[in-house]
């Protein structure tokens, strides 16, 4: 009888899959919620990025996320994207970038995901651009990581490059990544980072993703195991991760992609299940889904982790891309499909076809044209293009000048209406100009080599105004006002990136500037006062001068939220790692606080030191000794047009020009 009871009991165990092992207790994210989240986010991506282009935002990661999801997408979407890629490659004659070779890796991944031939894109073999390892590693560890992922995605052979300084090989990449392990060869060894000695979750999990296929090598397995041990300890009680002190969606997304690549069950592996303050068990999926936005997509951070600026608490493009492909990775793992980056199945699994669900309007209360809260991560419904942030504007309309008067100083004034606002225009030639050229871009760098950064002081002006520089008769470039530099120089001080073709004499000519400031009329309507530098009637730009913050800059404030915090450090890190494009001139100036013609880890370190310890940036040393600076400067006015540079700055300008 006892045996019969036991047999019946065992049959129930087998039939219903009961388990006695607490170590296998599952906290799985429900498949119904997973499918709903994927469908909603896919629809959001499809609607907000209707025409993906070659770009880190609104481009390849969106295409890859959709292609690896198993969700049907109209064939035309992928085909049109491929045509745009082909045109971009042809127009660039194969040169997507001379410094960021992750551009090639990213495009290779997206094209592999949609089953396209990466060896013949408009006649160019994209793999060949990764065959010189000296190029691949120009970005530091991030370049080799994604090159290896790209090569393995389609199980591609690495082209032989007889002209390469160092031929790229899989083993060479693996050895490079292993050699970059933090504290390698010591008892503290484990994890990776772009800089510093603290293992960073993003870079560590990305490194693991690239090494996942090579754990049969003893050294690889040991390095991965050490990294997992450290990352287990770094996981937060929410189930998520932070980077640079900020808990965020993307770091946790990279963890999900890495662990599923290793075949680790994130729902049952106790190393990656934490207990929150209420005693609830939290998995990586819990950690990431706390950033999920109603109706689809992801925020970068939650309120309370944003440094007080609100940056990234709304729908965020980069977080949405990474959150979506992390969902793909989890979905593929629990359904026994190829891992996210193993795309050898693309010809069989790419889902093509009409999908009415993609046409549904996203129900997202936080969706503002799918723009994130920082100025760098925006998805844009305008054909997937992003504003490049340059400050050039076409001048249109006419001032309709009238009521010309002369003030006590002899300046002529007249009023007009621009864009519905009352404008007072003043001819002003009395201000003295001083300029400092502090750096120029360099070949293959993130700062364009045809740009130079110039500090401009108007020494007879003390208050902030919006200042435009006349590039041509119909085009002007706006300068960025710096409160920090103005405080140190004790006069109104501005900064801008100019084309190197703009001559010093033009910058010192007061006739090339226009000055705008905002005043309030008695009836509480905005009044714009414009100081114009010549006496002739001009076509005025219909510009909104009611928001001077558009023309202000704070050094270290990468996302332009008026707060320097950990989010800015994360953004620079994302730019250096290739996850985020650098196309905004204001952003370039804000980041390059080290003033050395390049954007690199030195800028990260200075921004971090300023954020943590309030240390001054190198750029402030331009005005470190005001007395000597003032004594040595030549000034420009109506009678005198010479540059304002200390001997130190003159030498620096000469060096940059020679470079």
Taking the C-alpha atoms of residue 283 and residue 296, their distance in angstroms, rounded to an integer, is 20
Task: Give the model confidence (pLDDT) of 169-224 as tens digits.
Answer: 999 999 999 999 999 999 999 999 988 899 999 999 999 999 999 999 999 999 99
- What is the separation of C-alpha 578 from the centre of its chain, rounded to a whole number of angstroms? 8
595: region left, alpha or beta (phi > 0 left; psi from -120 to 50 alpha): left
Taking the C-alpha atoms of residue 572 and residue 587, their distance in angstroms, rounded to an integer, is 10
**What are the tokens at 57?**
């935002």
Average pLDDT over residues 117-140: 96
**pTM as predicted:** 0.65
Query: How many residues are given for the chain?
Result: 659
Contact (Cβ atoms closer than 8 angstroms) between residue 241 and residue 203: no
Task: Give the model confidence (pLDDT) of 246-300 as tens digits.
Answer: 899 999 999 999 999 999 999 999 999 999 999 999 999 999 999 999 999 999 9
Question: Concatenated DSSP letters for 403-422?
Answer: EEEE-TTS-EEEEEEETTEE
Residue with tokens 């392990």: 181
Residue with tokens 């750029």: 619
Contact (Cβ atoms closer than 8 angstroms) between residue 352 and residue 75: yes
Contact (Cβ atoms closer than 8 angstroms) between residue 448 and residue 434: no
Residue 487 pLDDT greater than 90, yes or no: no
Query: ∠ CA 146-149-151 to the nearest 5 degrees?
Result: 110
Helix H or strand E segment including 483: helix 483-489
Task: Give me the chain's average pLDDT, please.
Answer: 78
**What are the tokens at 433?**
């100009």
What are the backbone dihedrals phi and psi of residue 251, each rounded to the nearest 5 degrees, phi first?
-60, -40
Contact (Cβ atoms closer than 8 angstroms) between residue 377 and residue 574: no
* Pairing mode of beta strands 281-282, 402-406: unpaired
Looking at the DSSP bridge assignments, the partners of residue 352 are 73
Q: What is the pLDDT of residue 440?
A: 87
CB burial string 108-130: b at 16+ within 10 A, e below: bbbbbbbbbebeebbebebbbbb
Taking the C-alpha atoms of residue 164 and residue 173, their distance in angstroms, rounded to an integer, is 15
**What are the tokens at 139?**
């970005």
Residue with tokens 């549904």: 360
**What are the tokens at 137?**
């590693």
Judged on CB neighbours under 10 Å (0-12, 13-18, 19+), 154 is buried
Q: What is the pLDDT of residue 462?
A: 64
CA distances (Å), 293 to each of 44, 312, 319, 372, in order? 11, 12, 11, 12
What are the backbone dihedrals phi and psi of residue 246, each rounded to the nearest 5 degrees, phi first?
-120, 120
Quick one: CA torsion of 234, 238, 240, 246, rounded to 10 degrees?
Answer: -80
Contact (Cβ atoms closer than 8 angstroms) between residue 290 and residue 282: no
Residue 236 or residue 658, greater confidence: 236
Average pLDDT over residues 104-131: 98
**What are the tokens at 632?**
């040595």
Taking the C-alpha atoms of residue 469 and residue 511, their distance in angstroms, rounded to an integer, is 9
Helix H or strand E segment including 425: strand 421-427
Q: What is the pLDDT of residue 362?
A: 58
Average pLDDT over residues 607-634: 66
Helix H or strand E segment including 497: strand 492-499
Task: Give the model confidence (pLDDT) of 374-423 as tens digits.
Answer: 333 333 333 333 333 343 333 333 333 445 555 554 444 434 333 333 33
Q: What is the pLDDT of residue 352?
A: 95
């Amino acid at each position: 009888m006892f045996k019969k009871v036991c047999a019946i009991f065992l049959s129930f165990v087998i039939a219903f899959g009961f388990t006695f092992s607490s170590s296998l207790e599952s906290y799985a994210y429900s498949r119904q919620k997973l499918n709903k989240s994927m469908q909603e986010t896919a629809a959001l991506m499809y609607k907000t990025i209707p025409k993906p282009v070659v770009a880190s935002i609104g481009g390849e990661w969106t295409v890859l996320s959709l292609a690896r999801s198993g969700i049907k997408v109209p064939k035309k979407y992928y085909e049109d994207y491929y045509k745009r890629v082909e045109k971009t490659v042809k127009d660039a004659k194969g040169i997507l970038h001379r410094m960021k070779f992750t551009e090639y890796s990213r495009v290779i991944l997206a094209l592999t995901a949609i089953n396209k031939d990466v060896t013949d894109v408009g006649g160019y073999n994209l793999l060949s651009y990764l065959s010189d390892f000296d190029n691949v590693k120009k970005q530091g560890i991030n370049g080799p990581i994604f090159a290896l992922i790209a090569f393995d995605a389609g199980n591609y052979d690495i082209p032989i490059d007889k002209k390469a300084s160092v031929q790229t090989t899989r083993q060479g990449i693996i050895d490079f990544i292993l050699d970059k392990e933090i504290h390698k060869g010591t008892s503290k060894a484990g994890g990776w980072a772009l800089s510093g000695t603290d293992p960073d979750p993003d870079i560590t999990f990305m490194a693991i993703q690239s090494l996942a296929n090579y754990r049969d090598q003893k050294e690889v397995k040991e390095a991965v195991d050490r990294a997992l041990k450290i990352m287990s300890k770094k996981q937060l009680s929410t189930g998520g991760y932070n980077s640079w002190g900020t808990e965020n969606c993307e770091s946790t997304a990279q963890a999900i992609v890495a662990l599923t690549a290793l075949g680790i069950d994130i729902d049952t592996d106790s190393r990656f299940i934490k207990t929150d303050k209420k005693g609830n068990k939290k998995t990586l999926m819990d950690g990431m889904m706390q950033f999920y936005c109603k109706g689809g997509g992801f925020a970068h951070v939650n309120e309370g982790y944003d440094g007080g600026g609100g940056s990234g608490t709304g729908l965020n493009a980069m977080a949405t891309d990474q959150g979506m492909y992390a969902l793909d990775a989890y979905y593929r793992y629990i359904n026994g499909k190829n891992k996210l980056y193993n795309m050898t199945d693309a010809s069989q699994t790419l889902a093509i076809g009409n999908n009415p669900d993609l046409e549904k309007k996203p129900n997202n209360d936080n969706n503002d044209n799918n723009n994130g809260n920082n100025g760098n991560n925006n998805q844009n419904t305008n054909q997937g293009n992003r504003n490049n942030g340059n400050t050039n504007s076409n001048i249109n309309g006419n001032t309709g000048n009238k009521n010309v008067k002369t003030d006590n100083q002899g300046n002529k004034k007249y009023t007009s209406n621009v864009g519905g606002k009352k404008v007072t225009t003043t001819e002003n030639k009395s201000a003295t100009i001083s300029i400092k050229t502090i750096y120029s871009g360099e070949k293959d760098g993130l700062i364009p080599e045809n740009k130079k950064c110039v500090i401009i002081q108007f020494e007879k002006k003390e208050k902030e105004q919006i200042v435009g520089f006349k590039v041509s008769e119909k085009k002007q470039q706006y300068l960025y006002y710096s409160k920090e530099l103005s405080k140190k120089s004790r006069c109104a001080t501005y900064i801008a990136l100019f084309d190197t073709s703009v001559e010093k004499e033009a910058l010192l000519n007061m006739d090339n500037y226009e000055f705008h400031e905002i005043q309030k009329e008695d009836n509480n309507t905005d009044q714009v006062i414009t100081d114009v530098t010549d006496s002739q009637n001009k076509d005025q730009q219909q510009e909104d001068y009611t928001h001077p913050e558009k023309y202000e800059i704070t050094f270290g404030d990468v996302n332009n939220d008026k707060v320097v915090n950990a989010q800015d450090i994360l953004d620079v890190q994302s730019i250096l790692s290739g996850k985020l494009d650098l196309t905004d001139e204001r952003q370039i100036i804000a980041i390059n606080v080290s003033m050395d013609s390049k954007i690199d880890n030195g800028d990260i370190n200075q921004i971090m030191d300023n954020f943590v310890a309030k240390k001054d940036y190198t750029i402030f040393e331009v005005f470190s000794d005001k007395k000597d600076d003032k004594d040595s400067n030549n000034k420009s006015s109506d009678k005198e047009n010479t540059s304002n540079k200390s001997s130190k700055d003159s030498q620096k300008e000469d060096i940059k020009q020679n470079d």
